[in-house]
Amino acid sequence: MAEKIEIKDEWKALIGKETPPWTYEVTTTSVRAFARGVGYTDPVYFDIEAAKAAGYRNLPAPPCYLGTPVFIPGKSDDTFSGPTEGAMDFFQFGLMNVLDGGTEVEYFDTICAGDTLTAVSKLSGLDVRDSKSLGQMLIISSEMEFKNQDGKVVMISRAQAILY
């Protein structure tokens, strides 16, 4: 349990720093697999003709599915496939326990199979909060912006991690 957490200047310097852009591919196979995996049964996620009849260009990406990050050996995280360069190292804060603090997504356009998204992530904030059971916690806020192949922002994800 952390007794007292002080946000160091070197941590503050990380706020706003962006990761290199990373490519995510949205394919018909991945849309179908994600939709099936979360239990969706709407034909628009599985049948291209049904999707087009509903007004989509192709199979629409289900909510919170943003494609598959392109894996590049030596440059990608072995677990999550995203970039290792510029990635957040939670252990640098000296706290060993991590909880998911939630994610909020804001869509600006439809994402469909055939789209190629480019994502850039950044640390957007650090805060210390008290918990009766955990002691002090470091709340790390991050933001990830996704642009499509036309350079249009299609989604922004805002997330929090809780370190204690």
Q: State the amino acid at position 115 in one-letter form.
A: D
Which structure tokens are listed for 38? 């979360």
**Topology (CATH) of 9-26+66-163:** Thiol Ester Dehydrase; Chain A (3.10.129)
pLDDT in tens, 12-38: 999 999 989 999 999 999 999 999 999
Q: Which of 92, 62, 78 shows the shortest CA–CA distance to 161?
A: 92
User: Cα(18)–Cα(48) distance, rounded to whole angstroms?
Assistant: 36
Q: Which of 126, 164, 117 shows the shortest CA–CA distance to 144?
A: 117
Contacts of 41 (CB under 8 A, 6+ apart): none
Query: Considering the entire predicted model, what is its pTM?
Result: 0.85
pLDDT in tens, 82-131: 777 777 666 677 788 889 999 999 999 999 999 999 999 999 999 999 99
For the chain, residues classed under CATH 3.10.129 are: 9-26+66-163
Measure Cα distances from 42 to 32, 64, 80 in Å.
11, 16, 28
Q: Which of 122, 96, 101, 112 shows the shortest CA–CA distance to 150?
A: 112
